[in-house]
Amino acid sequence: MKPQRSPLFPIFLFVLINLFIFSLSRLGLALWQADRVSAVEGWVALFVQGIRIDVVALCYLFGVPALLTVLFHSSELWKKILRAWLTLGSVFILFMEIATPAFIETYDFRPNRLFIEYLIYPKEVFTMLMEGHQSAVIFGLVFTVLATVIYWKISGWAVKDLRPMSWKWRPVVALLVIAVSFLGARSTLQHRGINPAMVAFSSDALVNSLVLNSGYSVLYAAQQFKDEENSSAVYGKMDTDEMLRIIKAVRGRPESDYISDKFPTLTQNIATYQGKPKNIVILLQESLGAQFIGALGGKPLSPNIDKLAKEGGFFENLYATGTRSVRGIEAVTTGFTPTPARAVVKLNNAQSDFFTIADFLAKQGYDTSFIYGGEKHFDNMASFFYGNGFKTIIDQQDYNNPKFTATWGVSDEDLFDKAHETFSKLQDEGKPFFSLVFSSSHHDPFEFPDGKIELYEQPKATRNNTAKYADYAIGHFFELAKKSNYWKDTIFLVIADHDSRVAGAQLMPIKHFHIPALILGEGIEPRRDSRLVSQIDIPTTLLSLAGGQGNYPMIGFDLTKNVDPDRAIMQFDQTQALMKSNGDVVIQMPNKAAQGYYYDKTKATLTEKTVPEEMKKEALAYALLGSYLYKNRLYQLEDKSEKRP
């Protein structure tokens, strides 16, 4: 009997199999999140646009092998290559869908560029997964191995008995395959091919991400890494002069403060405090958002912070710039505005000659350090810090006999004991110091020592219990600090890098950007500050309180002065928001017009609203500024050759 199967039969078969996998996964995820899908009336759009994206993904994945199959289907070598291609491609699709629920539980979004970034650190991530998500990991690995075997067998059967195609028809069919694959991959006749923004239809970022499939989402994110210098271009265009004019107008600084023709944001700054320069210590708290702070209306998990809030400057209305630790580090050490690209901690052009307050203070004679309980290489921190003014880094290997070691490093108590020891020694040496102390206990899988706190809930390993332990450790540190030789000469900042599990049925879950910030030290007057401020305002304020004056490029406000920033800038994946104290919000998404909203803080809801065009321009200026400064290497300390006379 003559072979009856079309040469393209294996391709068609695996396209159908993977369309089934995509649809089954999307259905399961949608049923899991049914309340949120129903809330935006998204059932029809979710699946119609979902099939569209799935076809796009499969055209990219199988378009080339389809073309080569038409040309070389008679070759036994090509059949083996085709089997491998079909198997590996399908296993990748299945693996990504299996990994999706756990990712959504943590980030409220399908796997995206964070998924790729975490792959760089397999030891930390695998340990975390095995500690907190062991059953999901084991199921995923076993199922992936079984799927590999099954797909390999199916592909072996599919490539058998293919009907030979005449060579005179092969070029014709090949052109047809090229045309179908090209049109299917673009999914539109418009100038720009399809992208996630084109299929987003709701006000819920998670539901919009469910339209995608996880393989497409991750590969689309990977493709964006190559153009991070221009990442903000997705929000729109604005003349550089207009952008800088808007930023300067918002700041309200006189033109005479700008002292460089080369570096457009470089200003001269006079500190409020004019005495002997003080030490600066930043206690950057992992994931300790406002929801965990009683004094901010959160759960009663922070008795120590609540008590300390009555002793210093406590910011009630401060918002993080992002949802990752590196974004928080970027904000509090560099004052840099957030962009859709990765934080500057990870970007190539920021690994040296990029402004940090550590570099600024080092040039003024300060000892500068980063003290961490985990491994310094994580998230590229060591490279960024060493290249930009941090003289010393203390990480996990520098702790002798720690009291408790968890997945992400030693406990917060061990961290603060080491910090106290380090500061006491530096004070004895008579040299001013700056230190960034970064905690890690309040992180999935939520491990901390027994017997330190009365548990808020059962079981022990929860976000709430670990937040309470983090607060306990802060109290432990300040007990030591207040009795120390360095207390009277030091300004302390307690601030979160971001909130824990930033999620919500909105394009921008603003509620989860609200974080605590508390400034303490001798001479700091107790005050609750209700101004709407951003993380980028904190480093300028710290320098002013410590007597650190001079020229720097930060655009944050000095909150020791009579100013009202009246804005918060927030980056959530590829979406950026600018919020004002009256509740007006501008949300910018890639390749879409900016949209106005009203944020009701009491209800934590966003409602569409017409906002002034000037505010939309301000939002775009803020969004474009970071990419412009980064691309042109303009975020540096003063270039004396360019200083104005």
Could you report the per-residue pLDDT of 220-273, keeping only the tens digit for each? 888 877 778 888 999 999 999 999 999 999 999 999 999 999 999 999 999 999
Q: Are residues 213 and 286 in the same domain?
A: no
Pair 558, 314: CB distance under 8 Å: no
Mean pLDDT of the chain, nearest integer: 93
DSSP 40-109: TT-HHHHHHHHHHHHHHHHHHHHHHHHHHHHHHTT-HHHHHHHHHHHHHHHHHHHHHHHHHHHHHHHHSS
CA distance linking residue 508 with residue 527, whole number of Å: 30
- Which residue type, as a one-letter code, is found at position 162? L
pLDDT given for residue 227 in this prediction: 79
Q: And the tokens for 329?
A: 């580090």
Instruction: Answer yes or no: is 38 within a domain.
Output: yes
β-strand pairing of 267-269 with 550-552: antiparallel
**Please, which residues have CB within 8 angstroms of residue 175's CB and are 6 or more apart in sequence?**
none
Q: Which domain holds residue 212?
A: 9-230
Q: Do 274 and 152 reside in the same domain of the chain?
A: no
Query: Residue 129: is its pLDDT beyond 50?
Result: yes
Let me know if residue 401 belongs to a domain. Answer: yes
3-class state of residue 132 by DSSP: helix
Query: What does the block give as tokens for 370?
Result: 């980063």
CA 311/CA 315 separation, integer angstroms: 12
Stretch among 126-140, 344-358, 556-570, 590-604 having the lowest mean pLDDT: 126-140
In three-state secondary structure terms, 243 is helix
Residue 618 CA, distance from chain mean position: 23
Phi, psi values for residue 410, rounded to 5° = -75, 165
- Rounded to whole angstroms, the Cα distance separating 623 from 610 reads 20
Q: Which of 183, 210, 230 is the last residue of a domain?
A: 230
Residue 80 lies in a domain: yes
In-domain check, residue 453? yes
d(CA 489, CA 150): 67
Tell whether 314 and 191 lie within a shared domain.
Answer: no
**Per-residue pLDDT for 24 more than 80?**
yes
pLDDT of residue 642: 44
pLDDT of residue 644 exceeding 50: no
Secondary structure (3-state) at 607: strand
* One domain, residues 190 and 293: no
- Check: CB of residue 337 under 8 Å from CB of residue 634: no
pLDDT on residue 127: 67
User: Which of 533, 640, 103 lies closest to 318, judged by CA?
Assistant: 533
pLDDT value of residue 116? 82
State the pairing for strand pair 279-285/433-438.
parallel
Do 312 and 225 belong together in one domain? Answer: no
Residue 446 within a domain: yes
What are the residues facing 437 on neighbouring strands?
A: 283, 371
Going by pLDDT thresholds of 50, 70 and 90, the confidence category of residue 505 is: confident
Confirm if 609 and 584 have CB atoms less than 8 A apart.
yes
Catalytic residue, candidates 325, 440, 534, 544 = 325
* Whole-number pLDDT of residue 637: 86
CB 521 within 8 A of CB 493: no
Do both 221 and 349 map to the same domain?
Answer: no
Q: Is residue 638 part of a domain?
A: no
- Which pairing describes strands 367-372 and 392-394: parallel, antiparallel, or unpaired? parallel
The residue with greater pLDDT, 141 or 309, is 309
Rounded CA separation 606/584 (Å): 10
CATH of residue 385:
3.40.720.10
Is 191 marked within a binding site? Answer: no
> Based on the domain organization, do 39 and 90 belong to the same domain?
yes
Average pLDDT over residues 196-223: 90
Q: What average pLDDT does range 388-412 have in this prediction?
A: 95
Among residues 241, 272, 263, which one has the least CA distance to residue 557? Answer: 272
Does 443 carry a binding-site annotation? yes
Measure the N-to-C terminal CA separation of the chain; round to a whole number of Å.
Answer: 92
DSSP 537: G
What's the mean pLDDT in 626-632? 96
What are 438-479's pLDDT values in tens digits? 999 998 889 999 999 999 999 999 999 999 999 999 999 999
Do 337 and 537 form a contact (C-beta atoms < 8 A)? no
| Cα–Cα dist 517/538, whole Å | 9
How do residues 287-303 score in pLDDT, each as one tens digit? Answer: 999 999 999 999 999 99
Domain match, 276 and 384 both: yes
Looking at the structure, do residues 287 and 377 belong to the same domain, yes or no?
yes
The reply to whether 402 and 276 lie within a common domain is yes
Average pLDDT over residues 344-359: 95
Residues 6+ apart with CB under 8 A from 217: 110, 111, 112, 196, 209
DSSP 505: S
Instruction: Pick the last residue of a domain from 230, 245, 278.
Output: 230
Q: What is the pLDDT of residues 145-173, one digit of tens each?
A: 999 999 999 999 999 989 989 999 999 99
Q: Is 417 known to sit in a ligand binding site?
A: no
DSSP summary character for residue 437 = E
Would the annotation count 497 as a binding residue? Answer: yes
On whether residue 257 sits in a domain, the answer given is no
Q: Residue 605 and residue 398: Cα distance in Å, rounded?
A: 46
3-state secondary structure of 195: coil
Residue 484 gets which letter from DSSP?
S
Domain co-membership, 495 together with 352:
yes
Does 435 score more than 80 pLDDT? yes
Residues composing the chain: 645
- 131 — pLDDT class (breaks 50, 70, 90): low
Give the pLDDT mean for 589-605: 94
The DSSP code sequence of 208-225 is HHHHS-HHHHHHHHHHHG
- Among the three residues 201, 230, 259, which one is the final residue of a domain in this structure? 230
* 72 and 159 housed in the same domain: yes
Q: Is residue 107 part of a domain?
A: yes
Q: Which long-range contacts (CB under 8 A, 24 or more apart) does 588-593 make?
A: 588/235, 588/236, 588/619, 588/620, 588/623, 589/197, 589/200, 589/507, 590/195, 590/196, 590/197, 590/234, 590/235, 590/340, 591/192, 591/195, 591/197, 591/198, 591/234, 592/197, 592/200
Burial of 439 per CB tally in 10 Å (0-12, 13-18, 19+) = buried
Q: Which of 415, 424, 426 is nearest to 391 (CA)?
A: 426
| Known active-site residue 325 | yes
Given a cut of 90, whether residue 529 has pLDDT beyond it is yes
454 secondary structure, DSSP code: -
So what's the pLDDT on residue 102?
85
Judge contact between 163 and 3, C-beta under 8 A.
yes
Whether the model pTM is above 0.75: yes
Whether the bond into 459 is cis, omega within 30 of 0: yes
- For 83-105, the pLDDT digits (tens) are 999 999 999 999 999 989 988 98
Say what the pLDDT of residue 203 is: 81
Please state the domain count of the chain. 2
In single-letter form, the type of residue at position 175 comes to L
Q: Does residue 216 register a pLDDT over 80?
A: yes
